[in-house]
Every structure is written in C-alpha cells, then in structure tokens.
Structure 1
Amino acid sequence: MERHQLIEKYNVAGPRYTSYPTVPAWKTEDFNLPEWQIDVQKTFKKDKSIGVYIHLPYCESLCTFCACHKHITINHSVELPYIEALIKEWKLYLSLFDEKPVLKELHLGGGTPSFFSPKNLKWLMDELMEHVVIPEEHAYGFEGHPMNTSREHLQTLYDAGFRRVSFGVQDYDLAVQKAINRHQPFKKVKEVTEIAREIGYTSISHDLVYGLPFQSKESIQDTVQKTLTLRPDRLSFYSYAHVPWIKGNGQRGYSEENLPSGTEKRALYDLGKELFQAAGYQEVGMDHFALTNDELFTAQKAGDLHRNFMGYTTENAANLIGLGVSAIGNSATSYAQNGKNLKTYLEKVNNGQWPVIKGHLLDPSEVLARRIIEDIMCNFHSSRLGEFAIQNPDIYEKLTEMASDGILIFNKQELVVYPEGRAFVRNIAMLFDAYLNQNSPKPIFSKTI
C-alpha cells in the first residue's frame, strides 16, 4: 500500500496516550476519593519518589491553536492568591506522607508559567522544596514564553534546581503567527535561548507545531532552519490538535480550509524530520528529537524513557502529583484530576477541601495495557504480547493487518514498529485500548496523523 493510502487509512481520531485509560474513561460522579488517597499512600510506602506537575493557567493573550486549560488576563494581582492555593493543596498531599518525599521530577506548565513574577515563583519553589528531599539525579523543567521569560525568571528557577526549559516557538511565518495570535520574532527567541545557555541550562528545547493554518513546506523549512541555527538540545515537533468542539471559539479563529491535513500535513512532519536528522538530531518517541548527548536520547537508547502527563521524561517517579486547576496526577495504579473551573478550585482549596473531581483506579489488566502502550510510545516495541494475549487472544488478528501494511512485525511475545511505521504509533496503541469501542455522542480526540 502506498504511503498516502496508509495515511488516509489510519488518519482517524485517537488519543495521544499520556495515560491509559485516557481521561474520557475516568469516573466523575462516583469517583472514590478516600480509596484514591489510600492508593497514593500505598504507592508512597513502596517508593518515596514523587514527581510534581504545577499548572499555572494564566496567559496575557489567547493563542488560538492552544488546547490547554488557560485563563486569559492582564491582571497580575491573580498571582498571589493562586500561589497561596497551590501551597495549601501541596500541604494536603504532604498530609498523606509519613516522611519527606524524594522529588525526582518537577515541571511548571500552563498557561504561561512566566506570567508569574520571578519573586512569586521563588516563593512557590521555596515552599515546595522545604518539604522534600532533592536527589542527585532529578529532572526539573518549565515552559517559557519567549516574549516574557526574563533573565531573572531563568536565574530564579536555575537557582531552584531547574536545568531544563522549553520555549514555545510554533512557527516563524508571519501569516501563521497572525492566524494563531502568537506574535514573536526570531530575535527574541534567540535572545532568551542564549541567556538560558549562558546561565547554565543543560537541556534547552524548542517546541514547534506542524499542521497549523497557512503552513507550507516553505514556511516549515524556514522555521526549522532558523531553529537549527540556535542548536537547542531537544526539539518537540507536535501535530496540531484541532479540537474546536472541546475548546470552543478559541480554535475557530480560522477555517478548516486553511489547515493542511492528511498526506499534506504528514509531508510537513517528514520535511522537518529530514532537516532535524541531517543536523544530527535523533527521533525520540513520538514527535520529539534530541541531540545524541541529551538525556532524552540516551534514556531511549537504554530503554529507560517514560511518558506521562509531563510528556516524555527520563525519570519515573512512583507518584506524580498534579497541583493547580485542571492538573492531573497518578500513582502506581490510579489517576486523579483537579476540576477545571478556576473559581471552584480556589474555593475548595481555601476551604481545606481536595480539588480532585475525577479519576480512575486501574485493575491488573489495565496496568498491563498501560505498560504495553508506554513501551510502544517510548521505545517502538513491546515484549509483553504473550501476557496480554492470554486475556485478549484477538490481538494477533488485529496486529496482522498492520503487519501486512508494513507498519510493524510481531510474534507471539513481541512487536516491533518499523521506522516507516512510527507515524502510526498512536494507531498501534489503540489496539490495546479497551475503551475506544465505547460510543461517544460527540468527538473526543484529534486525528492521529
């Protein structure tokens, strides 16, 4: 089958699999909060390591391509009460632990973390770090907006132990920037990248997006070539997720006719990939690239790459704690998500209540499926097929069609994704998802390619 035919065949709606089961399958009405708390405690007793994701939701302007949970305002008086709430929520988690946790992972996401002043970020970090053990090997990073991330921001977080920063670039083409309301010149990205490197950040990433309105091969080539002159340690090359049915008018600032799709969209990725690899970057997992001396590449090569709500990571903390509105966390066998309404989140936490509103407790079969999906998404292979087939004997039949399409090869115990099949890793993972057959009255996921 020709490549364009494969893309047309497999370009269907599907999850990105930062979790399994995915968020739409989680319970809300009958979520058992005490049982989830017990699960977190059980996980902690076996392994004291934690990761912390802090969601900082504020942005001064709306980027119309963004599918994140954000709150648009230019009123910076919101910083103080929000950080106060984060600290109170953090203390709720500390009450579950009988000793100091070991903070292996820390990520500040948003929204725009650099919306917050360096002074307030230092206050937040001081309150967090006071109650943890910082191991020698740890991964602390944040998302920086090139237009408002200052030297002081970078220095403050560096002093708190951060060595990773990802700058959202998306695209340098002026027509694309206008369509997505993301105005930032190359010189500003260059400036903030050089400051981060000067301060001592050892892993600087640039986030690019393909499939945006008005993108072309020419604009992608220009954006990538500009990016390569700055030589970031890592690159994210994300597929634009067009989900206006979830995000409303925020993703209807342009017409569907303005979006490249299907074969045309994948050609943009293939062009970027070709340019990255020619410059010495290696493909890592799905939509990520890294230089061979970066920890992300060495982790994949060693089989130690992991995937969670913070994306690809070199660490695998037993408990991932999500702080802030809409934040998600997980333990060894559970997930939990905070409510998405900012006012309700603040009210609950200030009243000493847990802001968690939904979650999922995994059974053994789901734990196994999660491991297989992570194998596929991180390392393009899994050796757990035999164990899975005991309960799901039809898996071999499902894999046969993909094998005949030249996407993968498999036997009774193992599957391996061909390099040419890596565009379809989400589709492969979907074969192990028991929840996809449940009908939904409305669209949920973006297209896989």
Structure 2
Amino acid sequence: MMVSLIQKYNVPGPRYTSYPTVPYWNESLFNLDTWKKSVQETFKVSNNTEGISLYINLPFCESLCTFCGCNKRITKRHEVETPYIKALLKEWQLYCDLFNQKPIIKEIHLGGGTPTFFSSENLELLINGIFDLATKANRHEFSFEGHPNNTTKEHLQILYNLGFRRVSFGVQDYSLAVQKAIHRIQPYQNVAKVSFWAKEIGYTSIGHDLVFGLPFQDVTGIKDTILKTKALLPDRISFYSYAHVPWIKGNGQRGFHDEDLPQDDKKRAIYEEGKKLLVEIGYSEIGMDHFALKTDSMYEAFQTNKLHRNFMGYTASKTDLMIGLGVSSISDSWTSFAQNEKSLEAYYAKLKLNELPVFRGHHLTEKDIKIRKHILNLMCHFETSWNQKTMQFDELDDVLEHLKEMEFDGLISKEMNTLYVTEKGKAFVRNICMAFDLKLLEKEPTTQLFSMTI
C-alpha cells in the first residue's frame, strides 16, 4: 500500500520554506521603497518583543559537492574573504540606517557555501562588526554550519566566545562509494573529531545533516551511517531528501547518472529504515525530515507549538523580521520577501552605489498571509484550522475538494474546521501543503521547477 502511495504522490513540489514560493513571486509589483517600509514597520513591532533574525550567506567553497543545490562560488583563493566581510558589514549598515533604534538580535545563522572556509579571525571580525550596531537578545540562538574537514577547534572556540551555542556538521553519508559520487570525501574520524571538540567546548546543540536518495545509497549503507551517528549522538539530525534539480544547477548536479539514484519506493525505504533506527536510538521526529533528542530546544519548540519554518529551515523560535545578508540571501519582513543579487559582481556593484543589493521580491497580499499561516501550521505542527475568520479565504472549499483523495488514502483527517496530518500522511506533508498553494493550483509550472516530494 505504501509503495503505491509513494508512486502516486511522488511528484515535483516545493519544500515550503516560504509562501508564495520563489517561482511564484510577483516581481513586477515589487518595489524597493515598499520593501524598506515593510522592514521598518515590522522592526518597530518586533524589535522590542521578539527581536530580529540574521541569516548570513558565506558562499565560498574550496571544492564542488555534486549533490549541493546552494548558490556558491568555488575557489581556493582565501583573499576573497576580507572584501566579502566588508561588503556584508556595509549591507548591515544600510539596513541599520533604516531602523529607529539599535536592533536586538535573537537569531544568527551562518550558512553557505562553507562558513568555515573563512578564517576564525575573519568570522570574529564579522560578528563583532554586526554587534557594533546591535545588541544580543537575552535568550539568543546563534548557529553556524561547519564542514568536518576544515572546521578547526579555533573556529569552534572563537564562535562559542561570541555567543554561538549551536553547530551543524554536513555528514550526508559515510559510504565511500556515495562520498565519491557526490565529491565529498570526509572520513568518520573527521566528523567525530569536530563533534567531540564542540561538546568539550560547551556547545549545547550539535547537529548532523544526513541526506537520503543520494547516488549508490541503499538500506544497508544507511544502517551503517545511522549506527556511526549513534556513536556520536548529536542533539539534532536533519535527514533530508536529496533534491535532484540538475536543470537549475547545471553540471554541478550531473556528476553521476540518473540511474545511480534510488527511486520512489527504494528511496523511501532508505528513509523509513533510517527513521526507524533514529527513533530506536531515542530521537523524536520533528516537522519534516528533522529529528531531535528530548533534551534539545527543537524538541521543546515542537512540543509547545513554537516551532517555526523560514528560509533558514526549521527554527526553535520565531521572529517576524529576518534580514538576509550576503549574495543571493533572502530577507523576510513577514509581509514582504526580498532576495539579494545572485552574482558576487552584481552584489558588490550595488553596495558600491550605497544601495541595498536586492534584485527581486514579493509583497504578500492578505490572502497570501492566510495561506502562509496554513502551510506553516502543516509543516511545523501537522495540523491547521480555519475556525477563525482570519484563517478563512474564498477558495477554501476548492482546497478541501483537492484534499478529499488524500483523506480517502488516509493521509489526513478532518474534524469540524480542523485538518490533521495522520502518521501515514507525514511522509506526504509537502503534497498536503500543495493543496493549499493557490498560486500552484492557479498556474501549474510548464517547466521543471521543483524536486520530487518524496
């Protein structure tokens, strides 16, 4: 039964880190001045209540991993670090010029690319430069992504001294055949070393990123990867579905043949085996493709309905204003989205003119915000309700009609004005969200835009 459901529902679909999704932004109506005003308005409300978040994209990598869908720049020239840090701080200054008071930062996430491409000294310059213009919230959560092959103990210590308490290490898979195929060779010993360093220094949340659906992956291999993970017992684990989107990322995702990838039921079997082992070890499933120990803040956020999802993925707390700094970063003022220039050259050029380096965006309508709330509820809490008028919209009956087949298949249940994702339905939560996606329902894509949902 599960195999047939996977074959039935394994279709291209968004991961819903936002709504509307980027391909459905109305860029023609986007206006930079309106974006700035939305930032100012949200800042006035959120800064003294929940604070704001920063996502900082550090795009450089020394080598290309062929599974990666990130916007990155491959180079071994580390002289690129200093001008990029200066550009980030200039962009931050331009945002701070919009604010009516000193920003209080609740969350920082350093992503990439490879944040640990940068020297610990330059990362220290960056964070100190950020806080020359800001203060830390009392219960802040600062995190960064570390590459097990180049994260040093000095990286970990300096960032810890600056207030970072969470780090995630990209593991993907421990099989050498898989690592060769994705051009990401990193022995278990390297992951163990950096994980033990982080624990020794005092990090309270250490994460490992695993990926299923990679070339040459099988059930036997994922068992080995999970058993090695058990020996290190990270606080949280992301167990992502590999997004095969070579039409977007070009040759970077064509380092292997399509027939080398596990498909449909075989791919899902890898996930189900991994999930079963993780639960046996003591992890709880959180949202979509995430697991946490009961001592981790992610688990607490899920239990107390405080889990949030944005362009940083799942977060244990929410702020209505998230500023994205760096090339290709996306910012979110709750009522608008704005994305930075995707090329370094264009990013630098706009900053040289003292302009925010934004090249496109979307202003959310009242209906967009309602749909966004429903999709967030489903992705974070596996349920949503339309009891309140603020959650009702004209097309709701059409959405419920689209969901009837999923209800028949046992993926959802309805009780009065509330929809619940069943245990069986959790594997199909992206498909359930797609039924609420009015933009997608109004205009199905004519070209490949999204990875497969399962």
Mapped pair 1:58 → 2:47: no
Matched residue, 2:125: 123
Larger CA deviation: 377-386 vs 423-432: 377-386
CA contact (8 A) 1:386 1:412 kept: no
Mapped pair 1:403 → 2:402: no
SS at 2:180 equivalent: helix
Give the root-mean-square deviation of aligned CA atoms: 1.1
SS at 2:65 equivalent: coil
5+ residue gaps, structure 1: none
Matched residue, 1:448: 453
Letter of the 2:411 counterpart = I
Matched residue, 1:12: 11
Write out aligned runs for 1:44-443 (5 A). 44-48=43-47, 49-384=51-386, 387=389, 388-392=391-395, 393-437=397-441, 438-443=443-448
Structure-2 separation of matches of 1:29 and 1:174:
47
C-alpha distance after superposition, 1:175-219 (max 9, x if no partner): 000000000000010000000010010000000000000001111
SS at 2:35 equivalent: helix
1:336 shift after superposition: 0.6
C-alpha distance after superposition, 1:44-71 (max 9, x if no partner): 1111121000000000000000000000
1:26 shift after superposition: 1.7
Structure-2 separation of matches of 1:149 and 1:423:
34
CA contact (8 A) 1:40 1:319 kept: yes
Letter of the 1:334 counterpart = S
Structure-2 separation of matches of 1:150 and 1:432:
45
SS at 1:128 equivalent: helix
Letter of the 1:205 counterpart = G
CA contact (8 A) 1:55 1:324 kept: yes
Q: Spell out structure 1 runs of 4+ moving beyond 4 A.
A: 385-390
Structure-2 separation of matches of 1:308 and 1:105:
12
In the comparison of the two structures, how many residue pairs are matched?
448
Structure-1 separation of matches of 2:46 and 2:208:
33
SS at 1:232 equivalent: coil
Percent of pairs identical after alignment?
Answer: 54
Letter of the 1:443 counterpart = Q
Structure-2 separation of matches of 1:389 and 1:88:
42
1:419 shift after superposition: 1.0
Structure-2 separation of matches of 1:57 and 1:274:
35
C-alpha distance after superposition, 1:388-422 (max 9, x if no partner): 55412222222221111000101341011111110
SS at 2:164 equivalent: coil
C-alpha distance after superposition, 1:146-178 (max 9, x if no partner): 000000000111111000000000001010000
Structure-1 separation of matches of 2:59 and 2:387:
40
CA contact (8 A) 2:367 2:393 kept: no
5+ residue gaps, structure 2: none
1:300 shift after superposition: 0.4
Mapped pair 1:25 → 2:27: no
